[in-house]
Structure 1
């Protein structure tokens, strides 16, 4: 089954290649099947869609929040299945199906691109086959923006703007990487930048091992 990671003070549902934990398609299929459906897509192959998330579901926005860890800004999901689709693989929006997850085997704090400027931070799910430092010009409609001071608020949803061209045009891409055990992680705005922007100290949570997957608990 492998090991999971937790954050001190939180129970963060992650499995990490950074900790030499092996994941596989069989593991994903076994763990995610109770929470959604698998399909074979002609472009992406095996994909997974969550059930019972509602029509407004949006990856890295619904039912979770951001915290700062040694890996950078890390997505904490409250979904029972959140350990896999938000830290491995990529999300893609399909015309007839909506949001679907394409499995991958490299762990990250969150597979999103980041932007900042004009008093806002923004992020959007990286598309399949896109890696660190690759900017493919994601559609503006995929971007979520919030006032910078709310980046680590658990209620950031109250302040977000989705697909705002006006805000997008006032921001630029962030290419910060964090190095942990000789691995590079794309972690978004730095601790120092967030502290300067918000005027508040940012706590860095430590990632530790846990016994099994599950929803985040505080």
Structure 2
């Protein structure tokens, strides 16, 4: 009788845990664009940018590049995941797109679809490259014919792709233009939730051959609070809520006459502003309140 009671307690405990897990899984986290605004404001400046609406410029060090600085790649069950070491990295590397402006530096355009990384991947002659997607690029429709501007490519030797410090080994300057124009786009796209397609990046078996590593698959698990993504054994805890579109409170206004986005192949940054100068340019912009927020479909 005691044994039967003990077994009954175990079964009840298992059912209870299972039920709680199901309830938790059915309780999705949701945020608004205002949450983006509030969460990222301590780490940068919001600008109402002509043509793109509200964008965010991070307070970062000189030489910052999205999907290169202060982070590394982790292979997951959703493809290559950019694991940022920035406190704010949960949002700008997994929602939305990036552009570079000659006056203001790297700017993030918010979006509402989550991905391990919103980048395009390429390979050529022993090199891997990846570049942040620009606003308006839809992988499902136009991706096959779209190539990033050479300035946007982050290019490293294939056998170093899994390094923790990719900044130290990135190919720079003229070599980027030379290699970038020959990059063959990696044809490996994913659409696990029947939403927008994203590039999952090079296949694990191929990267293993180059790096001579035994790369294992890291499982993505949901986190219900805002914090840095963190790897724990064979899984990574990720904050990836659904996003509702609502306007933020305020942002600095950048009129069309004052912006210089690097978007065409024949463009290249001219001013060579450092981060401090770019931040001063932003601080000179007038503040505006309650303006409608545009967003990329990402």
TM range (shorter): 0.7 to 0.9
Please identify the structure whose Cα radius of gyration is greater.
2
* Structure 2: stretches of 5+ with no match in the other structure: 1-26, 232-298
C-alpha separation in 2, matches of 1:179 and 1:49: 29
Instruction: State the Cα deviation string for residues 83-103 of structure 1 (Å, max 9, x = none).
Output: 000000101111211111111
SS at match of 2:37: helix
The match for 1:149 is: 159
Question: More strand per residue: 1 or 2?
Answer: 1
C-alpha separation in 2, matches of 1:22 and 1:196: 40
Using the size of structure 2 for normalisation, the TM-score is 0.62
2:211 equivalent to 1:198: yes
Q: Is the 8 A contact 2:121 2:130 kept in 1?
A: yes
1:148-187 maps to which residues of 2 (within 5 A)? Answer: 148-162=158-172, 164-182=176-194, 184-187=197-200
Count of paired positions: 199
C-alpha separation in 1, matches of 2:112 and 2:193: 18
Question: More helix per residue: 1 or 2?
Answer: 2
Which segment drifts farther, 166-175 or 42-51?
Answer: 166-175
The match for 1:25 is: 33
Measured after TM superposition, the shift of residue 20 of structure 1 is 5.1
1:38-187 maps to which residues of 2 (within 5 A)? Answer: 38-51=46-59, 53-133=60-140, 134=143, 135-162=145-172, 164-182=176-194, 184-187=197-200
SS at match of 1:180: coil
* Structure 1: stretches of 5+ with no match in the other structure: 1-18
Task: Report the CA distance shift for 1:185/1:71 in structure 2 as closer, same or farther (over 3 A).
Answer: farther
Using the size of structure 1 for normalisation, the TM-score is 0.84
C-alpha separation in 2, matches of 1:147 and 1:193: 13
Q: Is the 8 A contact 2:70 2:165 kept in 1?
A: no
Q: CA RMSD in A?
A: 1.9
SS at match of 2:147: coil
